[in-house]
Amino acid sequence: EDKVVQSPLSLVVHEGDTVTLNCSYEVTNFRSLLWYKQEKKAPTFLFMLTSSGIEKKSGRLSSILDKKELFSILNITATQTGDSAVYLCAAQAISYDKVIFGPGTSLSVIP
């Protein structure tokens, strides 16, 4: 059965800390790994990863995929209170007919 697991489920850090969020997946005919940030409303897209070992960066956020070990990490450096959110990881099948989400990591950044 397809599944996506994230860890930790919740995390509290101080501003300026660096955090690493983990995502592992088992999805038939895997194509890509997606990261989303969810604050109060709908998830907003962060990254799509399709190739192993190639880091994607956007400001203080970066992510990498390991297709051999079936996991991905999302790093956030120099965290700010605005980074407080739930970070969702999802695995997309090659036929685009399934996008399976993990439970999310709830990140709280305190001043």
Partner 1 sequence: NAGVTQTPKFQVLKTGQSMTLQCAQDMNHNSMYWYRQDPGMGLRLIYYSASEGTTDKGEVPNGYNVSRLNKREFSLRLESAAPSQTSVYFCASARYTEAFFGQGTRLTVV
Measuring CA to CA, how many Å separate 50 from each of 7, 65, 67?
21, 8, 9
Residue 104 in contact with partner 1, rule: CB under 8 A: yes
Q: Which stretch binds partner 1 (CB under 8 A): 16-24, 56-64, 73-81, 85-93?
A: 85-93
Of the residues 41, 58, 59, 111, which one makes contact with partner 1 according to CB under 8 A:
41
Own/partner pairs, 5-8, CB within 8 angstroms, 24+ separation: 5/102, 5/103, 6/87, 6/88, 6/89, 6/102, 6/103, 6/104, 6/105, 7/105, 8/105
Report in angstroms how near the CB of residue 102 gets to partner 1 at its nearest. Answer: 6
Residue 71 in contact with partner 1, rule: CB under 8 A: no
Interacting residues toward partner 1 by CB under 8 A: 6, 9, 34, 41-43, 45, 48, 88, 90, 92, 95-104
